[in-house]
Structures are given as C-alpha cells and as structure tokens.
Amino acid sequence: MTSFFNGLGFLFEKILFIPMDFFAKLELENWWTANIITWIFILITCYYFVFWLKQLQLFKAKDEDTQDTTAHSFLK
C-alpha cells in the first residue's frame, strides 16, 4: 500500500508539476516573459468569459433556457 501512495506522490510531484516547475524557473530567469505568458492566459480567459455571457444572452432572447425551479426535486 505504501508503494501506491509513493507512486501517487511521484506522479504529482515529478510528472504533473512539470509545467509549474517550468514557469517557476522561467520567472527566475526572465520576469517579463513569465508575466507576458500570464497576461496571455488572462486575456484568453476574459475572451471566453465574454463569449459565454453572449451565448447566455442569445439563449435568453430565444427563450430556449428553462428557468423552471421544479427541474430538481429538492427545489419543490
């Protein structure tokens, strides 16, 4: 059982954290590049948030969204 948890630790620390380690080293080498990458991710997130809000407005304008509170039995 210990080897299972050691395997999970290896997976998360050595494999899945590779991008995080890359950005940590990048910030130490070049602060501007690291922040430009961060701002690119922020702009992508803002774009898709606005896209999502526009889609919600389109569904509401066409009355395709159901605002029925009885959709779930615990809301009755």
Contact criterion met (CB below 8 Å) for 7 and 15: no
CA pair distance 8, 34, nearest whole angstrom: 29
Is the model's pLDDT at 71 over the cut of 70?
no
pTM: 0.60
Where do the structural domains in the chain lie, given as residue ranges?
A: 8-62
Per-residue pLDDT tens digits for 14-45: 999 999 999 889 889 999 998 999 899 999 99
Mean pLDDT, rounded, for 42-57 = 97
